[in-house]
Amino acid sequence: MRAEETDLPGVLVLEPRVFADARGFFMESYNRRTLADVAGIADEFVQDNHSRSVKGTLRGLHYQIREAQGKLVRAIRGAVWDVAIDLRRSSPSFGRWVGVELSEDNRRMLWVPVGFAHGFLVLSDIAEVLYKATDFYAPAHERAILWNDPQLAIRWPLDGEPVVSEKDAGAPLLRDAELFD
Residues tagged active-site: 62, 131
- Integer CA distances (angstroms), 45 to 6, 130, 133, in order: 22, 13, 5
Q: How many CB atoms lie within 10 A of CB 26?
A: 10
**167: part of which helix (H) or strand (E)?**
helix 166-169
* Beta carbons within 8 Å of 65's beta carbon, 6+ residues apart: 141, 143, 178, 179, 180
Q: How many CB atoms lie within 10 A of CB 153?
A: 9
Full DSSP string of 26-95: EE-S--HHHIIIII---PPP-EEEEEEEETTBEEEEEEESSS---EEEEEEESEEEEEEEE-BTTSTTTT
CA distance 109 to 75: 8
179 by DSSP, 3-state: which?
coil
